[in-house]
């Protein structure tokens, strides 16, 4: 049976993605091999439990698969299995963060995390999330220039004595000093949870410092700079394995998504190739070029620039809010997301910034030259909204030169 309605929606989405510029920092285009694994027959298999300790029969291939993918996850971070344990079953990043907190803490325990409007993620102790309701979040803030203030974080940690500290963010354009975070955590006897969802591809590509051996637990989604399927994984010190992994299953999840795990395995193998290192480096060259060009056009950037894959633009001097800018840019075929900026006078629904990221455009093969062009279009649209239609045509023509594979 052909489901024309759904097929048409898939085709329309293919067309939308092909004809627009995806500057959403958390999105990327996984390879065809990754997408094929997602559509593989592993989708039909239940596999509750851990490799070689399952609750169903028919496990000869899934056990090998999950073991192999776990080995690759450790290898990509240069870790050994004597000291570190890995779990590739979490269905998504938000759930994985909650699983970790429930594994390591008792309800009501204090956690220290970056305030959501300053670049943290909902699942890192925000009031709207169970991670903020079941535990007692204390927030740290970026300094007035948009940088992490390690001395202030240390002081707050000493005063508050949290049981766990979270680093790794959603909208922070600068490098993170994981060693310093680890020193702060040790000083107050807290666990350190590092959420590298956004920057895992940069870490394994060698263009951002690694959180190992500094962190106690790492959580990462697999679909951002890592360029895998939507999913997540957890790596923790061996002695924490039991506490955390029992919260993944049976604590919160049932059967793992074996087709996703197969696709994560492919993405990890791709990430170990020399071409991925080049890709990771190009992501940063592209975001730094974009940042520089936008600054030339008079855009204010939080922290003044970027060390990673994203640029956070403060639009207040442009007399437009983040919501309107997102809508306007989208009408020109440039897809972004509105974002709060530190100390934002606006609201989460209508904040003062937009977040721009280069991972997806870099996957399409775009380089510095293209970033200059795109920065020019962004400037034109924001300054002269009437031009949006004309720019949309240019964007569509331009996108044809960079087909999605």
Ligand X SMILES: Cc1ncc(COP(=O)(O)O)c(C=O)c1O
Catalytic residues: 46, 48, 195, 221, 224, 230
What is the DSSP secondary-structure string of 43-104? GG----EETTEESSS--HHHHHHHHHHHHHHHHHTT--TTTEEEE---SSHHHHHHHHHHHH
Choose one: 47-55, 147-155, 168-176, 262-270; the region binding ligand X (CB under 6 A): 168-176
Site string for ligand X, 62-91 (x = CB under 6 A): ------------------------------
- Residues forming beta bridges with residue 312, ordered by sequence position: 355
Q: Does 117 bind ligand X (CB under 6 A)?
A: no
Site string for ligand X, 377-396 (x = CB under 6 A): --------------------
- Residues forming beta bridges with residue 191, ordered by sequence position: 164
Spell out the SS3 assignment of 131-158: HHHCCEEEEECECCCCCECHHHHHHHHH
* Residue with token string 């437009």: 320
Q: Does 26 bind ligand X (CB under 6 A)?
A: yes
Residue whose CB is less far from ligand X, 74 or 232:
232
Q: Does 22 bind ligand X (CB under 6 A)?
A: no
Q: Which residue is nearest to ligand X (CB)?
A: 93
Q: Does 338 bind ligand X (CB under 6 A)?
A: no
* Rounded Cα–Cα distance for residues 239 and 236 (Å): 8
Cis peptide before 213 (omega within 30 of 0): yes
Tell me phi and psi for residue 146, to 5 degrees.
Answer: 90, 20
* Rounded Cα–Cα distance for residues 25 and 198 (Å): 8
Residue whose CB is less far from ligand X, 118 or 198:
198
Q: Determine which residue in the list 198, 227, 247, 392 makes contact with ligand X, applying CB under 6 A.
A: 198
Q: Does 270 bind ligand X (CB under 6 A)?
A: no
Q: Does 225 bind ligand X (CB under 6 A)?
A: no
Number of helices (H) and strands (E) in the chain: give both, helices first: 15, 15
Residue 391: CB minimum distance to ligand X, A: 28
Residues in the chain: 405
Q: Determine which residue in the list 22, 99, 195, 270 makes contact with ligand X, applying CB under 6 A.
A: 195
> Residue 214: CA atoms inside 13 Å, Cβ hemisphere, count?
20
Q: Does 94 bind ligand X (CB under 6 A)?
A: yes
Residue ranges in 96-115 that form contacts with ligand X under rule CB under 6 A: 97
Binding site for ligand X (CB under 6 A): 26, 92-94, 97, 121, 123, 168-170, 195, 197-198, 221, 232
């Amino acid at each position: 049976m052909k489901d024309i309605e759904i097929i048409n929606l898939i085709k329309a989405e293919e067309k939308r993605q092909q004809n627009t510029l995806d500057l959403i920092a958390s999105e990327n285009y996984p390879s065809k091999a990754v997408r094929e694994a997602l559509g593989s027959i592993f989708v039909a298999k239940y596999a509750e439990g851990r490799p070689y300790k399952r609750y169903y029969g028919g496990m000869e291939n899934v056990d090998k698969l999950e073991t192999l993918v776990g080995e690759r996850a450790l290898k990509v971070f240069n870790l050994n299995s004597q000291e570190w344990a890995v779990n590739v079953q979490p269905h998504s990043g938000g759930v994985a963060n909650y699983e970790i907190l429930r594994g390591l803490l008792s309800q009501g325990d204090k956690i220290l995390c970056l305030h959501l409007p300053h670049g943290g993620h909902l699942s890192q102790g925000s009031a709207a999330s169970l991670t903020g309701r079941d535990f007692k979040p204390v927030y740290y803030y970026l300094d007035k220039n948009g940088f992490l203030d390690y001395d202030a974080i240390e002081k707050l940690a000493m005063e508050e004595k949290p049981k766990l500290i979270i680093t790794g963010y959603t909208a922070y354009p600068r490098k993170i000093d994981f060693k310093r975070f680890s020193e702060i955590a040790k000083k107050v006897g807290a666990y350190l949870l590092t959420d590298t969802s956004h920057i895992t591809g940069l870490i394994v590509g060698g263009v951002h410092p690694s959180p190992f051996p500094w962190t106690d637990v790492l959580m990462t989604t697999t679909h951002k700079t890592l360029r895998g399927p939507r999913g997540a994984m957890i790596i923790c010190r061996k002695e924490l394995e039991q506490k955390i992994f029992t919260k993944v299953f049976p604590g919160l999840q049932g059967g793992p998504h074996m087709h996703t795990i197969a696709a994560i395995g492919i993405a990890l193998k791709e990430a170990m190739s020399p071409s991925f290192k080049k890709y990771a480096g190009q992501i940063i060259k592209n975001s730094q070029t974009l940042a520089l060009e936008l600054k030339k056009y008079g855009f204010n950037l939080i922290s003044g620039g970027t060390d990673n894959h994203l640029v956070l633009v403060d639009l207040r001097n442009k007399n437009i809010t983040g919501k309107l800018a997102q809508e306007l840019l989208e009408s020109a075929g440039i897809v972004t997301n509105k974002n709060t900026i530190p100390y934002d006078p606006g609201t989460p629904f209508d904040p003062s910034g937009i977040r721009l990221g280069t991972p997806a455009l870099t996957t399409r093969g775009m380089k510095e030259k293209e970033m200059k062009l795109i920065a020019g279009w962004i400037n034109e649209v924001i300054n002269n909204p009437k031009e949006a239609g004309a720019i949309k045509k240019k964007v569509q023509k331009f996108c044809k030169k960079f087909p999605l594979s």
